[in-house]
Amino acid sequence: MIVSIQSVQSWNRGTVTTLNVFRLQSINDNLRDSCTFYWQIGNEVPLPTGGTTQTWVQDGNLTMNGADYTGWNGSNDAAMSWALSQLNLSRTLVGMVATPIPTSPLLKGGALPQ
């Protein structure tokens, strides 16, 4: 699932990049007490011919467990809200989009580099 986020700035390959989309995918859920998610954050821009394209800049894994997992209702929206809060990101009011996943460099330390 991909959502638009409030833009943040990140250093990427020698330039400052505006990041405005976030993708979250469940990669392992033991259905008992933990779920691991793969996430990506990137830049989405409109194409001159219509549609959009995403460039993924950072990615990583998050594991939901403990009270977060037992309180989770299993919904995609709740998982997305949890992941965004873990990374100190905010969703915008723009709707969700769906696109394939390319690979990107890993985010280190759970925070966006300055």
Q: Where are the domains of the chain?
A: 2-86
Cβ atoms 39, 95 nearer than 8 A? no
Residue-level pLDDT at 13: 86
Who has greater pLDDT, 12 or 20? 20
Cβ atoms 43, 20 nearer than 8 A? yes
Who has greater pLDDT, 34 or 93? 34
Among 64, 99, 57, which residue's Cα sits nearest to residue 80?
64
Predicted TM-score (pTM) of this structure: 0.77
Mean pLDDT, the chain, rounded, equals 86
Confidence of residue 82 (pLDDT cuts 50, 70, 90): very high
